[in-house]
């Protein structure tokens, strides 16, 4: 199909409409036995007219294999350490660092150093855990906001909010980013360990493991000691509140 | 970074004939699926290239004990590297359907995986997400639906910042969305719509592409028009528009490209993003009047121009598929614009759209002739009620290129003739440009076709031509036009018109 050069030139030109030639219709046009009338046609999305296009698109989608660049192809940089105070993680690829940073350091509470997956959850956490005004106000009005973006409901207690999350939004009852604030109190070692286990997995706190994992002893101690231990000291394997263990972490391949 | 490659999930090393046969089979299966309204395709991101030269897949089938072992190691291993490796091994195993089945039936396995997904080890998190992604891609409903416990977390992570991770979550969600209505019934109350809307702000084109995928899967759902689009989260003209129309201009603006993926040619970006992204626009047709008042027509027009530009610069595969949704969207919206009381400034008037469309038609002819009807359908909708666009066809000398499409197929012929009728019916000023010219000769050619519809449309065009340009009738007679007509004298659907034309030609 040969296109005149004017077409390409026109495309490159500025917007504009052609001055229309005068329209002059005769009543005989399209008169019986003829039947032509100029009209626009609309097709609903399920129409068979689109079958060819749809089939081609799906063939293409099926063929496309989106691949992660293999290790040797990733751009290597000289080994560097995470710059955040206390974090000794070492990297030699920027992508690894990006994800590490966003997961552990980006949305971190400046009060208790817990990390959150998003700014939204961090904001809610700070409000509910570290804002004394919030506590006062929440006695008089519903202050606990729903965690789901787009839902404007607020609740009197965090339990009410959890019920709402479970019933209205079909969230799991043990949703990890909705742990109620626990007061620090001495408890039997066993119970403490349980509580610690939950707290460690909750609110994205900087520790390894998850709610199901039973914590090792030192972590329990840490929790009992509460606020008196300076936040930069941490016990237990992998608990990374503050300085990491001094041994250099393995680099990520 | 994910590297896009149009690879093949099937082992190489089979002959060309074999590949063609498989492609025909796949095509037939897709057509059948579409007719049964079961046409869904999932996306897969994977980091192992399929082994060349080996038959079958490379994934190892893992047994229950092995899966348990890997999970335990991942969860409680002492060495970080060890934990990662365990998850990687699990993920590789999960590429195989049998491992997937074993996994989902193993008690506590999904719970552990979700635990790893929400852990604070960034790389464990990523690997766990990849495991989930493999599961989401499964064709077995049970496997995909086993991922449901993870969805609230996947949605939560969409408001994070790690672009690779968000992309992975989006593709996983997209695969799950398309799985079944049961899955969507959970995702909607969990807030998938606002969560997706939040991703629109991302500066990463790769995230936008993934978003387009998830969105188009959501909007393609059978229950979309009644349950999803009117959903409170979707409702309200403003959110709906912010949602989708932000995507278009963002892809269109040069800064987006420059800022994020400087190494990719712009056309490939289009190809990748648009295949997933723009179909979602097509599916959002429900609220057309609103789309139009917000300048949808001109935005789509600009998209078309950009496409035509891209097509001139590159041979990238997939570009023609990007054009498809734009054409459909534009074409259907034009019918709305005519019906509704749309202001003058919202109408599409830009002549460059016609130029762009023809460049695309030429491209289709070379790459994918099966897409020509859709392009010509748009041309019909542009020209039917528009003297301006009809004039453009004439002034840009596009009649002859149009005629060159006649031999492609019957469907294409009918459409070409319809467009020509659109031009001719506007009167003598237009027909003056149609004859003298190659048109008459082409019509004598189409009269020789056996397809009734093609011939019928040719007769309509001849009537208009003879009416507004009587001299053409003379030329017609001289070129044995009557004999060409005689062939169809007995055809029930044609005979009245044939007879009328014969009279007109002979007696004026």
For residues B28 and B26, give the distance between their C-alpha atoms in angstroms, rounded to a whole number: 5
Beta-carbon separation of A21 and B391 below 8 A: yes
Per-range mean pLDDT, top range of A202-211, B88-97, B187-196, B353-362:
B353-362
B424 has pLDDT over 90:
yes
How far is it, in rounded angstroms, from Cα B302 to Cα A19? 21
Among A15, A22, A168, beta carbon nearest to B429? A22
- State the average pLDDT over residues B218-232: 71
pLDDT of residue B39 exceeding 70:
no
Instruction: State which residue of chain B sits closest to A239, comparing Cα positions.
Output: B120
| Alpha carbons B251 and A52: distance in angstroms, whole number | 26
In the predicted structure, residue B433 carries a pLDDT above the cut 90: yes
Per-residue confidence (pLDDT) for residue A37, from 0 to 100? 93
Helix orientation angle between B319-339 and B372-383, rounded to the nearest 10 degrees: 30
Give one DSSP letter per residue of B230-285, joined into a string. Answer: TSTTT-SHHHHHHHHHTHHHHHHSHHHHHHH-TTS-HHHHHHHHHHHHHHHHHHTG
Q: What mean pLDDT is predicted for residues A51-78?
A: 63
Output A79 or B470, whichever has higher pLDDT.
B470
What are the helix (H) ranges across B43-79? 64-76
- Say if residue B5's pLDDT is above 60: no
pLDDT at A146 over 70: yes
| Predicted model pTM | 0.70
Mean pLDDT, rounded, for B324-336: 81
Checking if the pLDDT of B13 tops 70, the result is: no
Output the pLDDT for position B381.
94
Q: Say yes or no to pLDDT of A40 above 80.
A: yes
Give the residue on B whose Cα is nearest the Cα of A152: B233
Residue B498 in this model has a pLDDT that exceeds 90? yes
pLDDT at site B306: 80
Q: What is the pLDDT of residue B18?
A: 84
Predicted confidence at residue B288, as pLDDT, reads 58
Average the pLDDT over A51-72 and give the result.
Answer: 63
Work out how many CB contacts closer than 8 A connect A with B: 359
pLDDT interval class at A177 (50, 70, 90): confident
pLDDT of residue A63: 66
Query: How far is residue B395's CA from residue B358's CA, in Å, rounded to a whole number?
Result: 14
Would the pLDDT of B253 be above 80? no
**pLDDT band, very low/low/confident/very high, at B209 (cuts 50, 70, 90):** confident
The angle subtended at Cα B199 by Cα B88 and Cα B272, nearest 5°, is 70
Which residue out of A32, A37, A57, A208 would a mutagenesis test of the B interface target, given it has the greatest number of B Cβ atoms within 10 Å? A57
In the numeric block, the tokens 């799906």 are attached to A58
Put simply, whether A20 touches B (Cβ < 8 Å) is: yes
Structure tokens belonging to residue B462: 């001849």
Query: A59-73, B221-235, B326-340: lowest mean pLDDT where?
Result: A59-73
At residue B244, does pLDDT exceed 50? no
Model confidence band, residue B219 (pLDDT cutoffs 50, 70, 90): confident
Q: Which residue has the higher pLDDT, B161 or B401?
A: B401
| pLDDT of B339 | 58
* Residue pair A59/B321 in contact by the 8 Å Cβ criterion: no
Establish if A35 touches chain B: CB-CB under 8 angstroms.
yes
User: Facing residues of A80 across strands?
Assistant: A91
Predicted confidence (pLDDT) at residue B441 exceeds the cutoff of 80: yes
Nearest CA in chain B to A54: B34
Check residue A59 and give its pLDDT. Answer: 77
pLDDT for A74 equals 54
pLDDT at B297: 77
- Token pair, residue B447, equals 């009269």
Highest-scoring range by mean pLDDT, A36-40, B252-256, B272-276 = A36-40
- How far away is chain B from the Cα of A79, in angstroms, using its nearest Cα? 17
Could you tell me if A184 and A223 are in contact, meaning their C-beta atoms sit under 8 angstroms apart?
yes
Would you state the pLDDT for residue A70? 36
Angle formed by the axes of helices B296-313 and A5-12, nearest 10°: 130
- At a CB cut-off of 8 Å and minimum separation 6, what does B20 contact? none
Nearest to A239 by CA among B79, B120, B118: B120
Q: Which of A129-133, B173-177, B330-334 has the lowest mean pLDDT?
A: B330-334
- Find which of A7, A198, A203 to mutate to test the B interface (most B CBs within 10 Å of its CB): A7
pLDDT tops 80 at residue A196: no
Q: How far is CA B242 from CA B187, B245, B286, B334, in A?
A: 21, 6, 16, 21
Weakest mean pLDDT among A40-54, A123-137, B335-349: B335-349
From residue A214, alpha-carbon distances to A180, A193, A242, B90, B111 in Å are 19, 7, 22, 23, 15
Predicted confidence (pLDDT) at residue B186 exceeds the cutoff of 70: yes
Interface test with A, best of B152, B182, B508 (most A CBs within 10 A): B152
Instruction: Provide φ and ψ at A250, rounded to 5°.
Output: -65, 150
Q: Which residue has the higher pLDDT, A9 or B161?
A: A9
Tell whether A36 is within 8 A of chain B (Cβ).
yes
Q: What is the pLDDT of residues A178-192, one digit of tens each?
A: 877 765 444 434 333
Residue A125: its chain B contacts at CB < 8 A? none
More confident residue, B458 or B40: B458
CA distances from B149 to B110, B131, B144, B412 (A): 8, 14, 11, 50
pLDDT band at B243 (very low <50, low <70, confident <90, very high): very low
More confident residue, A244 or A61: A61
Q: How high does pLDDT run on average in chain B?
A: 79
CA distance B233 to A151: 9
Q: pLDDT value at position B154? A: 94
Return phi, psi of residue A66, to 5°: -85, 120
Contact yes or no for B228/B188 (Cβ under 8 A): yes
Chain A positions touching B2 (Cβ under 8 A) are 66-69
Determine contact: A98 vs chain B, CB below 8 A.
yes
Max CA distance (Å), chain B: 99
Task: Work out the minimum CA distance from B456 to partner chain A, whole angstroms.
Answer: 9
A27 CA to chain B: closest CA distance, Å?
10
> Could you tell me which residues come within 8 angstroms of residue A111 by beta carbon, excluding any fewer than 6 positions away?
A126, A129, A130
Which residues in A lie closer than 8 A to residue B427 (C-beta atoms)? 22-26
Task: With CB atoms and an 8 Å threshold, state whether B44 touches A66.
Answer: yes
B43 prior amide bond cis, ω within 30: no
DSSP character for B115? H
Q: CA-nearest residue of chain B to A114?
A: B120
Across A159-169, average pLDDT: 93
Which chain A residues are closer than 8 Å to B324 by Cβ?
53, 56-57
When pLDDT is averaged across residues B421-444 and rounded to a whole number, the result is 94
Integer Cα distance of B125 and B154 in angstroms = 11
What's the pLDDT band for B294 if we cut at 50, 70, 90?
Answer: low
Looking at mean pLDDT, say which of A91-95, B161-165, B344-348, B441-445 comes out highest: B441-445
Determine whether the interchain pair B370/A170 forms a contact, defined as Cβ–Cβ distance below 8 Å.
Answer: no
More confident: B285 or B458: B458
Provide mean pLDDT across the span A79-87: 80
| Residue of B41, B163, B338 with shortest CB distance to A58 | B41
Q: Does pLDDT of A9 surpass 80?
A: yes
The torsion angle over the Cα atoms of residues A38, A44, A47 and A53, rounded to 10 degrees, is 90
């Amino acid at each position: 199909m040969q296109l005149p050069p004017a077409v390409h030139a026109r495309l490159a030109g500025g917007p504009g409409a052609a001055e229309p030639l005068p329209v002059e219709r005769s009543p005989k046009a399209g008169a019986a036995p003829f039947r032509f009338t100029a009209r626009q046609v609309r097709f609903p999305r399920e129409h068979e007219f689109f079958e060819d296009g749809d089939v081609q698109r799906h063939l293409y989608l099926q063929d496309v294999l989106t691949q992660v660049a293999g290790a040797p192809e990733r751009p290597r940089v000289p080994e560097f350490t995470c710059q955040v105070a206390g974090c000794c993680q070492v990297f030699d690829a920027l992508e690894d660092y990006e994800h590490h940073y966003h997961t552990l350091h980006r949305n971190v509470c400046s009060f208790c150093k817990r990390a959150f997956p998003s700014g939204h959850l961090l904001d809610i956490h700070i409000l509910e855990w570290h804002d004394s005004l919030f506590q006062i106000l929440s006695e008089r009005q519903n202050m606990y906001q729903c965690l789901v973006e787009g839902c404007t409901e607020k609740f009197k207690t965090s339990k009410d909010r959890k019920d709402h999350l479970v019933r209205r939004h079909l969230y799991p009852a043990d949703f990890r980013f909705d742990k109620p604030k626990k007061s620090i109190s001495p408890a039997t070692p066993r119970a403490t360990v349980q509580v610690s286990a939950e707290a460690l997995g909750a609110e994205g706190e900087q520790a390894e493991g998850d709610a199901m994992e039973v914590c090792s002893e030192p972590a329990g101690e840490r929790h009992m000691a509460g606020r008196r231990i300076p936040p930069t000291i941490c016990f237990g394997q992998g608990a990374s509140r503050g300085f990491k263990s001094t041994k250099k972490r393995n680099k990520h391949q | 970074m994910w590297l896009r490659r149009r690879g093949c999930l099937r082992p190489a090393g089979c002959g060309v004939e074999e590949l063609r046969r498989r492609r025909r089979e796949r095509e037939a299966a897709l057509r059948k699926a579409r007719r049964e309204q079961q046409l869904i395709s999932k996306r897969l991101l994977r980091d192992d290239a399929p082994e060349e030269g080996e038959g079958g897949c490379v994934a190892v089938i893992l047994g229950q004990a092995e899966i348990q072992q890997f999970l335990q190691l991942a969860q409680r291993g002492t060495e970080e590297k060890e934990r990662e490796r365990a998850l990687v091994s699990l993920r590789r195993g999960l590429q195989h359907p049998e491992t997937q089945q074993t996994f989902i039936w193993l008690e506590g396995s999904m719970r552990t995986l979700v635990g790893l997904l929400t852990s604070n080890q960034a790389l464990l998190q990523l690997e766990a997400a990849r495991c989930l992604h493999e599961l989401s891609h499964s064709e077995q409903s049970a496997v995909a639906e086993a991922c449901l416990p993870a969805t609230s977390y996947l949605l939560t992570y969409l408001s994070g910042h790690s672009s690779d991770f968000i992309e992975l979550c989006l593709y996983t969600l997209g695969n799950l969305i398309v799985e079944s209505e049961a899955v969507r019934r959970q995702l909607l109350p969990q807030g998938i719509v606002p969560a997706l809307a939040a991703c629109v702000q991302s500066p990463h084109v790769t995230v936008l592409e993934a978003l387009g995928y998830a969105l188009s899967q959501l909007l393609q759902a059978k229950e979309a028009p009644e349950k999803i689009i009117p959903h409170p989260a979707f409702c309200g003209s403003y959110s709906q528009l912010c949602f989708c129309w932000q995507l278009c201009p963002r892809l269109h603006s040069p800064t987006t490209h420059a800022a994020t993926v400087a190494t990719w040619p712009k056309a490939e970006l289009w190809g990748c993003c648009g295949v997933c992204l723009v179909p979602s626009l097509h599916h959002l047709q429900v609220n057309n009047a609103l789309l139009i008042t917000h300048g949808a027509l001109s935005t789509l027009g600009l998209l078309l121009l950009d496409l035509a530009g891209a097509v001139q610069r590159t041979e990238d595969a997939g570009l023609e598929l990007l054009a498809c949704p734009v054409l459909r969207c534009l074409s259907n919206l034009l019918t709305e614009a005519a019906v509704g009381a749309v202001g003058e400034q919202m109408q599409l008037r830009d002549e460059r759209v016609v130029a762009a469309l023809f460049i695309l038609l030429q491209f289709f002819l070379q790459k994918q002739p099966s897409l020509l009807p859709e392009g010509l359908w748009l041309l019909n909708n542009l020209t039917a009620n528009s003297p301006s666009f009809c004039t453009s066809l004439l002034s840009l000398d596009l009649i002859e290129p149009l005629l060159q499409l006649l031999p492609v197929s019957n469907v294409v012929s009918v459409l070409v003739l319809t467009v020509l009728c659109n031009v001719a019916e506007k009167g003598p000023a237009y027909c003056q440009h149609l004859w003298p010219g190659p048109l008459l000769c082409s019509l004598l050619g189409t009269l020789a076709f056996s397809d009734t519809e093609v011939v019928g449309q040719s007769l309509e065009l001849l009537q208009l031509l003879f009416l507004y340009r009587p001299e053409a009738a003379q030329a017609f007679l001289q070129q044995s036009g009557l004999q060409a007509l005689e062939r169809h004298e007995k055809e029930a659907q044609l005979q009245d018109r044939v007879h009328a034309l014969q009279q007109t030609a002979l007696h004026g």
